[in-house]
Amino acid sequence: MDVESFFSEKRTWADGPYLHFVAVLDDPAYVAYAQAHHELLAPYGDRVGIVPAPWLHWTAQGVHHRLDDGQVETAVQAVREAARHAAPATVTMGPVWPGPSAVTVAMYPEEPLAAINTLVRAAMSAVPGVQLRESATRFWPHSTLAYFRSPSVHDAEFNRRLRTIRPERVEITISRLLAVHMYQDLDVGYYTWTPIAEIPLGAAEADAAAPEVVCGKTRTTATYGTTPPWGDSDAESEITVGRLAVQPPLSESQIRYESFASAALDDSTYFEDAEPPMPVWPDPVTVVCERPYGDGVCGSTRLRVRGSWNSPAVIICERGHSWQDTVEMMREVIVAAEPAR
């Protein structure tokens, strides 16, 4: 059977990244489902681009030409407004389809996903300068497990082996979209992105009373150890913080002074007159959203932080702008949010 290489000339983007609206498929059940196929795919080496867990997604709609920052902001706001009238979609992932240029995962039922696609298209069509590709007569919701990078992958043997895997299908709920700058990463053979903004499907939940979190001041084994202090290290939490601050790192001389002072303080006879002055820590800096908004930057400090003990913090401002921070920040926010446990 003749198959295509996915990143053919006609599919290669001229000047990406391009604005896309995706749902990140990071549900651990779906990640396990996808990974159940990796053993089959691994022997094909770089003839396939296996999509790693962080990049599993469903594309609700993409734009395939460049936009300026103002157009991106307008499009994101338009989709955000429209998405308030949408609803989360619960769908079944599977079965797997070996297609002509990629291995894809079916998503059913199709209607709620098609409805989200229609809504995003309608919102974006109203943005000056945005041109969408013609829509298919019937929207095809799918998620890609792997892209073929060579025409010699997907033979009869490949199909037979794929058919023997058949993991149980999994149900997931898509409750938010992520606006991203989408890249075709031709070196690895799949798509990657940088996040722009998160968009809830349906009205956003009310803010809960939120703790202030200062990260980086108490680098303890509790926050930096490999095991969580409680619970499942892969369980996702989303925590609203009243103010998120980061402690700038100490300078080298401050670190030396700290260790000198604490060693000296252990020996109470060391200081003849008085204890040395405490080292001056730099003031914590409040985390501010720096995404463009209107004529300037967003500037929001009302933030939510999402992730698990083992995943980097995703920080989302009140306008839905989102960006990624470190695993360490996520751990400190988890510890700060549930100090009693």
> By the criterion CB under 5 A, which residues form the site for Zn ion?
289, 291, 298, 300, 317, 319, 321
Task: State the Cα–Cα distance between residues 312 and 322, nearest whole angstrom.
Answer: 13
Residue 101 or 300 with smaller CB distance to Zn ion: 300
Considering the complex, state which of residue 255 and residue 297 has its C-beta at the smaller distance from Zn ion. Answer: 297
48 or 317: CB nearest Zn ion: 317
AA letter at 58: W
Alpha-carbon span 76 to 198, nearest angstrom? 9
Q: With 0-12 CB in 10 A as exposed, 13-18 as middle and 19+ as buried, what is 33?
A: buried
Q: How far is the CB of 211 from Zn ion (least distance, A)?
A: 20
CB of 80 to Zn ion, least distance (A): 11
The backbone region for 34, taken as left when phi is positive above 0, alpha when psi lies in -120 to 50, beta otherwise, is alpha
Strand ordering across the sheet containing 243-246: 212-215, 243-246, 285-286
Least distance (Å) from Zn ion to the CB of residue 289?
Answer: 3
Comparison of 121 and 319: residue with beta carbon closer to Zn ion: 319
Pick the closer one to Zn ion by CB: 145 or 298: 298
Minimum distance from residue 179 beta carbon to Zn ion (Å): 12
Nearer to Zn ion, 306 or 319 (CB): 319
Count of helices and strands (H, E) across the chain: 8, 18
- Comparison of 145 and 196: residue with beta carbon closer to Zn ion: 196
Minimum distance of Zn ion from residue 269's CB (angstroms): 55
CA distance 62 to 131: 10
Q: How far is the C-alpha of 175 from the C-alpha of 173, rounded, in Å?
A: 6
Q: Please report, to the nearest 10 degrees, the dihedral formed by the alpha carbons of residues 297, 84, 302, 211 taken in order.
A: -160
Cα dihedral 199, 205, 207, 211 sign: negative
Shortest spacing between CB 181 and Zn ion, in angstroms:
16
- Map tokens 């307008």 to a residue: 74
Q: Assign 38 to helix, strand or coil.
A: helix
Smallest distance from Zn ion to CB 212, Å: 19
- When the beta carbons of 37 and 291 are compared against Zn ion, the nearer one is 291
Residue 294 CB, nearest approach to Zn ion (Å): 11
Work out the angle at residue 177's Cα, subtended by the Cα atoms of residues 170 and 129, and round it to the nearest 5 degrees: 140
Phi, psi of 282 (to 5 degrees): -65, 150
